[in-house]
Amino acid sequence: MYHKPPTTEAQLMTRAVAMSGLTVRQLAEIVSENIPPDLKQHKGWLGQLVERYLGASAHSKAAPDFEALSIELKTIPVDESGTSRESTYVCTVPLLELANVSWEASWVYRKLSHVLWVPIITPPLTALPDRLIGMPLLWRPAAEEAASLRADWQELTDMIALGQLEQVTAYHGNILQIRPKAADGRALCWGINEEGERFLTLPRGFYLRSRFTTALMQKYFQLQK
DNA sequence: CATTGATCATAA
DNA sequence: TTATGATCAATG
pLDDT tens digits, A13-30:
999 999 999 999 999 999
Q: How confident is the model at residue A3 (pLDDT cuts 50, 70, 90)?
A: confident
Convert the pLDDT of each residue in A148-177 to its tens digit: 999 999 999 999 999 999 999 999 999 999
The answer on pLDDT for A218 being more than 90 is no
Q: Where are the domains of chain A?
A: 9-221
Q: What Å value separates CA A54 and C1' C4?
A: 16
Per residue in A83-120, pLDDT (tens digit) is 998 999 999 999 997 777 899 999 999 999 999 999 99
Strands A88-92 and A132-133: unpaired
Nearest nucleotide by C1' position to the A94 CA atom: C2
Q: What is the mean pLDDT of chain A?
A: 92
* Residue A224 clears pLDDT 70, i.e. is over it: no
Domain A9-221 part of CATH 3.90.1150.10: no
Q: Is the CB of A34 under 7 A from strand B?
A: no
User: In angstroms, rounded to a whole number, what is the distance separating the alpha carbons of residues A194 and A22?
Assistant: 52
- Which residue gives the smallest C-alpha to C1' distance to C4? A60
Is pLDDT above 60 for A225? no
Per-residue pLDDT tens digits for A35-52: 999 999 999 999 999 999
pTM: 0.94
Please tell me the number of Cα atoms within 13 Å of A102 on its side-chain side. Answer: 2
Report the C-alpha dihedral over residues A168, A172, A175, A180, rounded to 10 degrees.
30
